[in-house]
């Protein structure tokens, strides 16, 4: 999962299984010719896309924002003019004057999501966006993420030109949030498998049945 996200974010070059002699970017682009990844990686290499990420929350995330005030951070990163609405929708009014390291798990999750949603980007990535949240909050977060694909009058960009990638383990949230999915499985540091993209219903049914068609 982490490797796939880092590749899509442009932070890791896929080796296509050639560990001893990694391919060049030109070879990688040729390998994916005819697929959606061809256009995506080409734009990424041409610096034609801006990627923002909501990383999996850990101590490193908190440490990097040590001493930063919630409200000030949201205002500074609001490139779409939506921070005021996100603060209300994600119920962050009570923590605007607090520093990031003092937030609870749920507050930190909602703050991190708001930080990403208020930025102007071509690719939005959310890693584990439902942890620490109750059912109502998970539905609200889903709506905020889905709204990224709506035409953005503030920036003049069409939502249809954006990519939104979400890594999620909650099947109920996933079914409500996404139109298309793929499943990832494997062993950390050993191997990983990404199934073919399919509709959310098909992917979840295949997962529950324990069988993914080739």
In the chain, which residues have pLDDT < 70? 151-160
* Nearest of 68, 103, 105, 71 to residue 86 by alpha carbon: 71
Return the pLDDT at 159.
57
Return the pLDDT at 97.
98
d(CA 201, CA 207): 10
**4-22: b (≥16 Cβ within 10 Å) or e:** bbebbbeeeebeeeeeeee
Sign of the alpha-carbon torsion through 68, 70, 76, 78 = positive
* Nearest of 194, 152, 201, 208 to residue 176 by alpha carbon: 201
Return the pLDDT at 103.
97
Return the pLDDT at 153.
54
Return the pLDDT at 193.
87
């Amino acid at each position: 999962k982490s490797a796939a996200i880092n590749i899509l974010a442009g932070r890791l070059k896929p080796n296509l299984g050639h560990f001893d002699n990694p391919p060049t970017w030109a070879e990688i682009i040729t390998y994916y010719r005819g697929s959606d990844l061809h256009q995506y990686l080409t734009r990424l290499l041409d610096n034609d896309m801006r990627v923002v990420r909501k990383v999996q929350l850990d101590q490193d995330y908190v440490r990097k924002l040590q001493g930063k005030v919630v409200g000030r951070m949201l205002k500074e990163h609001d490139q779409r003019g939506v921070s005021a609405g996100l603060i209300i929708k994600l119920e962050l009014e009570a923590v605007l004057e607090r520093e990031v390291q003092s937030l609870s798990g749920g507050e930190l999750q909602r703050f991190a999501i708001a930080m990403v949603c208020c930025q102007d980007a071509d690719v939005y990535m959310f890693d584990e966006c439902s942890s620490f949240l109750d059912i109502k909050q998970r539905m609200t977060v889903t709506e905020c993420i889905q709204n990224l694909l709506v035409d953005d009058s503030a920036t003049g960009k069409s939502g249809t030109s954006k990519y939104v990638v979400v890594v999620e383990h909650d099947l109920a949230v996933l079914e409500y949030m996404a139109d298309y999915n793929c499943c990832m499985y494997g062993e950390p540091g050993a191997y990983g498998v990404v199934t073919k993209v399919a509709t959310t219903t098909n992917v979840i049914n295949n997962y529950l049945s324990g069988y993914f068609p080739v």
